[in-house]
Chain A
Amino acid sequence: LAKTTQPISMDSYEGQEVNITCSHNNIATNDYITWYQQFPSQGPRFIIQGYKTKVTNEVASLFIPADRKSSTLSLPRVSLSDTAVYYCLVGDRHSSASKIIFGSGTRLSIRP
């Protein structure tokens, strides 16, 4: 089971690009990397998922180096509404959901 390590908290300012890095040194061949966002008083929201290189959608980009031992969630031009907790999950998407661990996440605070 690939363990993930991500910063407990990060601060940034409106309009900046924010990069949150997640370490997963023990990632397995079949594992994917998935990121969720959770606003206060709401359920987690699926943001993006990737296996290698780069994935981009309307919300974020996910950069995965060739060795896949880490990944970076990139949020372009953040606003106050991007203040949330961001979770990095690693695992085989076809495996049992019993192995899913959300961890403590990264608490991102955006300032004006």
Chain B
Amino acid sequence: DVKVTQSSRYLVKRTGEKVFLECVQDMDHENMFWYRQDPGLGLRLIYFSYDVKMKEKGDIPEGYSVSREKKERFSLILESASTNQTSMYLCASSSSGAGWGEQYFGPGTRLTVT
């Protein structure tokens, strides 16, 4: 079974703090994604990565950056957290080979910025 894990289920941070959200997958997937989910807005793609050290902006990259130093790990960084970044953050991975396209999601991190 594909396993995608996220470093925290719940996180509370103060405005202006630098925040790291980590995601690890164990299926050797090439592609990894970060979404945020807000009520009424569905899932919005923040950043994605097709390969190690590669990243591409999604639909709402402002205020975020990412890092992918190893194939299995994809980190989302909030350089200076703001209250409007309070949200549920979901990480996902997918293969570029057999079964390509289908994304497997981690359990999510509910981030509150106060």
Binding partners A and B: no
Which residues of A pack against B, CB within 8 Å? none
Which residues of B pack against A, CB within 8 Å? none
